[in-house]
């Protein structure tokens, strides 16, 4: 057999071969497994001390979480017929609504004379904001009522917050924001709203984070459950930009590796250089587009992480802007020396945003520009 | 590109990818392992692929890189060496399949793409990110070493 015959024979043999199959399924399973292992590994280091946060570590500008005390702050805001006005405290949501980027839900449920309505959703690739309120409460005083939201999704990791003062009426209402891993926003959201009644016989305390009148240990008066279907068109919205920029501050280097622009927020990913002598514990920053429009850090939750030395910082959304250039201005940073004693380091690990030491403010902001045309 | 679309596109071309890996590495189990690795690498970065038209080129390049990585790894573990272009007689003595596997990497890529995967010279040069003239030179040299008379 000459070489050409040998080639034809080998070619025929090859053409008859099929791949063993299921490579895609195995790749997807591997990706899920690695994500889970990463979370579990990180969880041992970071999440256990936080005690109860389901998914990622989270930094908050305002203390907003699921505690009844904070949920309480979500009520008492006059319901404005215009949704855009109702979300006016949150620029990203407000702009989304201005662009008619929201989904009407209009689901109601009545238990023992109390009617709760879930009114709107604002969803994208990375999360969902749910707006709800109590419509009527029979013989109960609306001012004494409080709705505490949560999702019934034990298998899905998410971080959540109640948005302060975004939605409500004289009656109790509020907004619940959930952040999922990218592309993990479920199409079907099982929402639970626990209704609590405030016990005014218990004295109020000055600490705004503690409301002994309603404790999480108390039983809810009733629990409202809704299944919300999120429109597929919304949960695919968001843009990712790979970037590769190094910033040097206070002798430490941080690497900006990505920008994500979603309808409800913008985020940029920072990876700290392994050779740094300190952990980055806080960052003061804002974003500026080429037309001079300034975008502030997110109100409420402003940073999330599920990996040591990597953090996604959140800012107001530029999704609806036509910006082609985006500049990050860093005006300050806080560091925790890596040679601190274990107790101090643990304290940092237990409370993201621990920033009392090594605080720097920059007279001239450190800037880095990103090209959004690519 | 979204993961669902990626999955569907990969399934369409996975037979071709598997054959390429098999020719590159010589064993079914290694080829399957490398295909899995390439599909996984593609899944992780498919979001960054902005032009679906380049999917096939992009995925083929990922597979060749994975083959190359595996080949390097195995070279450290056992005698699995490519032969230099000067070893013409040694190539003659080998069965074609083995001779292809022992070609220098840059020639091997081209032979696999051109004569076993159905890519044109221009497509192969795009996948390998080399000028078409360079691809033509490599093709000619590979055919000489393999004593093949193919267009």
The confidence score (pLDDT) of residue A43 equals 33
Q: Compare CB distances from A17 to B22, B43, B48 and report the shortest one's residue.
A: B22
How far lies B20's CA from each of A11, A79, B61, B67, B146, in Å? Answer: 11, 64, 11, 9, 18
- Chain B residue numbers with beta carbons less than 8 Å from the beta carbon of A19 are 14-15, 17-18, 32, 35
Average confidence (pLDDT) over A129-140: 83
**DSSP-derived 3-state class of residue B114:** helix
Average pLDDT, chain A: 75
Query: Distance (Å) from the C-alpha of residue B96 to the closest C-alpha of chain A?
Result: 7
pLDDT class for A62, splitting at 50, 70, 90? very low
Say yes or no for a CB contact (<8 Å) between A31 and B2. Answer: no
| Shortest Cα–Cα distance, A372 to chain B (Å) | 14
Report whether pLDDT(A109) > 90. yes
Nearest chain A residue to B51, by CA: A374
Assign A142 to helix, strand or coil.
helix
- Summarize the confidence of residues A182-203 as an average pLDDT: 80
- Mean pLDDT to the nearest integer, A79-107: 72
Q: What proportion of chain B, given as a percentage, has pLDDT over 90?
A: 25
Is residue A92 predicted with pLDDT exceeding 50? Answer: yes
Given CA atoms B46, B47, B50, B53 in this order, what sign does their dihedral have?
A: positive
Residue A60 is predicted with a pLDDT of: 45
| Residue ranges of chain B whose pLDDT lies below 70 | 75-82, 85
More confident residue, A343 or B131: B131
pLDDT of amino acid A362: 84
The chain A residue lying nearest B34, using CA atoms, is A23
For the segment A163-177, the average pLDDT, to the nearest whole number, is: 62
Please report the pLDDT score of residue A50 as a whole number.
32
Which one has a higher pLDDT value, A263 or A298?
A263
Chain A residues with beta carbon closer than 8 angstroms to that of B97 = 10
Q: pLDDT: is B123 or A343 the higher one?
A: B123
Beta-carbon contacts of A105 under 8 Å, excluding residues fewer than 6 positions away, are A118, A119, A120, A121, A130, A226, A228
Specify the pLDDT at position A66.
Answer: 36
Structural contact between residues A69 and A209, judged by C-beta atoms closer than 8 angstroms: yes
């Amino acid at each position: 057999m000459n070489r050409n015959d040998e080639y034809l024979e080998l070619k025929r043999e090859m053409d008859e071969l099929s791949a063993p199959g299921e490579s895609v399924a195995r790749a997807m399973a591997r990706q899920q497994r690695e994500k889970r292992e990463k979370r579990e590994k990180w969880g041992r280091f970071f999440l256990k001390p936080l005690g109860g946060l389901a998914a990622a570590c989270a930094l908050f500008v305002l203390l907003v979480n699921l505690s009844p005390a904070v949920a309480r702050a979500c009520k008492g805001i006059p319901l404005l017929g215009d949704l855009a006005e109702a979300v006016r405290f949150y620029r990203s949501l407000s702009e989304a609504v201005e662009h008619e980027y929201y989904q009407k839900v209009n689901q109601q449920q009545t238990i023992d004379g109390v009617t709760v309505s879930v009114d709107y959703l604002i969803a994208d690739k990375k999360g969902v904001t749910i707006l709800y309120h109590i419509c009527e409460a029979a013989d109960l005083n609306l001012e004494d009522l409080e709705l505490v939201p949560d999702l019934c999704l034990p298998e899905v990791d998410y971080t959540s917050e109640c948005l302060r003062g975004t939605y409500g009426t004289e009656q109790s209402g509020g907004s619940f924001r959930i952040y999922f891993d990218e592309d993990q926003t479920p199409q079907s959201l099982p929402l639970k709203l626990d209704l609590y009644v405030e016990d005014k016989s218990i004295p109020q305390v000055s600490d705004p984070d503690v409301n002994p009148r309603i404790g999480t240990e108390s039983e809810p008066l009733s629990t409202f459950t809704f299944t919300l279907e999120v429109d597929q068109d919304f949960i695919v919205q968001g843009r990712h930009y790979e970037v590769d920029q190094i910033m040097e501050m206070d002798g430490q280097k941080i690497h900006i590796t990505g920008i994500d622009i979603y309808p409800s927020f913008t985020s940029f990913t920072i990876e700290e250089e392994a050779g740094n002598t300190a952990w980055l514990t806080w960052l003061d920053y804002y974003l500026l587009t080429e037309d001079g429009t300034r975008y502030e850090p997110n109100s409420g939750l402003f940073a999330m992480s599920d990996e040591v030395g990597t953090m996604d910082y959140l800012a107001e959304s530029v999704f609806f802007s036509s910006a082609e250039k985006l500049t990050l201005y860093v005006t300050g940073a806080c560091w925790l020396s890596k040679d601190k004693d274990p107790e101090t380091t643990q304290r940092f690990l237990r409370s993201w945003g621990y920033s009392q030491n090594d605080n720097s403010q920059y007279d001239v902001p450190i800037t880095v520009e990103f090209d959004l045309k690519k | 590109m979204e993961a669902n679309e990626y999955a569907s596109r990969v399934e369409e071309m996975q037979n071709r990818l598997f054959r390429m890996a098999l020719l590159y590495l010589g064993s079914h189990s290694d080829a399957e392992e490398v295909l899995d690795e390439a599909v996984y690498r593609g899944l992780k970065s498919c979001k960054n692929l902005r032009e679906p038209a380049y999917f096939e080129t992009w995925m083929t390049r990922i597979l060749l890189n994975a083959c190359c990585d595996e080949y390097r790894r195995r070279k450290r573990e056992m005698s699995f060496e490519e032969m230099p272009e000067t070893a013409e007689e040694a190539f003659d003595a080998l069965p074609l399949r083995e001779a292809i596997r022992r070609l220098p990497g840059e020639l091997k890529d081209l032979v696999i793409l051109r004569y076993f995967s159905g890519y044109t010279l221009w497509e192969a040069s795009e996948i390998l990110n080399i000028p078409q003239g360079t691809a033509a030179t490599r093709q000619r040299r590979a055919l000489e070493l393999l004593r093949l008379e193919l267009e």
